[in-house]
Structure 1
């Protein structure tokens, strides 16, 4: 569990934050000038390399989870597809985005950006609906309320806080951002972009925090178990 939730959480969170940053440079700053060519201050090569690395890690780790179900402990099996399937799809989207920005990033106009985003919005909106379904299932069955008592912080907090908090970070906020992304790509409304950016930023920060926290917590739990 540690090897998946740490690296996947870190890369998923970083990917969301990178996506928000790219969206700000390409769409938000260019929105007042229809058809204007964005001029990002940072080379797209750096963004593309980071997106590609993040995307490959998510695609591989997410693919392993939803194809092979490595979490086979009762009560943990559903996390294979809650974590794995969205991570794999998102990883592929990050790789595709990296390749597109590498080749065409310097020639993009706002109208061309929306032309590319319109069909992608169908897939992203579907992911948002899947994440919403995952959120309902996770809350209804208390999927994320089972932190071991010896786990620092999470194991000491009451389950009625842990469950909704983790569900919000892992499923609700990313799903809300996906639905807002679809609405924004089709309507070009700044309010929808703002909602998408806010949801993905909060989810990204939360996922990075979980990815950083989980390894130390599980190391602590392992040595705690060995000492007993």
Structure 2
């Protein structure tokens, strides 16, 4: 089982970190912030408040740049191949997809944001622009379901005993597998429902249950990803110190 592999011989674990650069810490924070950003952007569009597209473009651009560069590097080079090869798929490819989507949103908001501000229904205008991306978003949502299923079946997210805090649950691999898989399911649910939410998104009426559901699952999962990523700055540093050969 995976938890036996990560403990190594006689319960010890030694990792050559020069062969495994890791940066899924900042990826988790950027992904969480990106999900929260999407909910905030949707709320700003549907509510009667001042909308500054340049500011939203900056936010999308910063997060998109981080996720695209780290996700692309992880997807193409597989830095975790020596010890945790599946992590390159689990974290790299979804981050790359989300990053490119955010960069696309940043470009549009920067160059054509006035089309939204001048529209009678700002939310509907933005939804009409985003509609063609719905196919890819749904595909990635289904991919996240696949990642969640793999996480549960193969217990991919079990932390080594040498990792602070998370390592306390090393003897219960299903606990962290369930926690992380549930997060991927929440994000995936929002992605699968995203095209349906665009159909009724409007600044002039009440939002549909589908739209509210997308907002809730992305907000909750975004907050958890952001906090979990921040925590990992401590736990991953501790893991590196505890496993240096």
Give the TM-score band, short-chain normalised: 0.7 to 0.9
Q: Report how far residue 51 of structure 1 moved.
A: 1.1
If the length of structure 1 is used for normalisation, what is the TM-score?
Answer: 0.86
Which residue of 28, 31, 39 corresponds with 1:9? 28
Q: Report how far residue 6 of structure 1 moved.
A: 0.6
| Aligned ranges 1:48-87 → 2 under 5 Å | 48-74=57-83, 76-87=84-95
- Structure 1: 5+ residue runs without aligned partners? 30-38
Distance 2:100 2:134 in 1: 15
Distance 1:89 1:159 in 2: 28
Distance 1:114 1:128 in 2: 18
1:127 aligns with 2:136: no
Larger Rg over CA atoms: 2
Q: What residue is the counterpart of 2:180 in the other structure?
A: 166
Q: What residue is the counterpart of 1:152 in the other structure?
A: 164
Q: Report how far residue 112 of structure 1 moved.
A: 2.1
Answer yes or no: is the 8 Å Cα contact 1:52–1:95 preserved in 2. yes
Question: Could you say what the CA RMSD is over the residues aligned between the two structures, in angstroms?
Answer: 2.0
Q: 1:2 to 1:22 in 2, by over 3 A?
A: farther
Distance 2:175 2:197 in 1: 32
Answer yes or no: is the 8 Å Cα contact 2:163–2:242 preserved in 1. no
Q: How many residues align?
A: 214
Superposed CA deviations along residues 174-208 of structure 1, whole A, max 9, x for unmatched, are: 11110121221235561111111111111111111
Answer yes or no: is the 8 Å Cα contact 1:2–1:215 preserved in 2. no
Answer yes or no: is the 8 Å Cα contact 1:2–1:218 preserved in 2. no
If the length of structure 2 is used for normalisation, what is the TM-score?
Answer: 0.80
SS of residue in 1 equivalent to 2:113: helix
Superposed CA deviations along residues 51-84 of structure 1, whole A, max 9, x for unmatched, are: 101101111110111111110134x111101111
Q: What residue is the counterpart of 1:32 in the other structure?
A: none
Answer yes or no: is the 8 Å Cα contact 1:49–1:98 preserved in 2. yes
Distance 1:225 1:121 in 2: 43
Answer yes or no: is the 8 Å Cα contact 1:151–1:221 preserved in 2. yes
Q: What residue is the counterpart of 2:199 in the other structure?
A: 186
Q: Report how far residue 47 of structure 1 moved.
A: 1.8
Q: What residue is the counterpart of 2:45 in the other structure?
A: 26
SS of residue in 1 equivalent to 2:167: coil
Q: 1:5 to 1:159 in 2, by over 3 A?
A: same
SS of residue in 2 equivalent to 1:3: coil
Q: Report how far residue 225 of structure 1 moved.
A: 4.2
Q: Report how far residue 215 of structure 1 moved.
A: 1.7
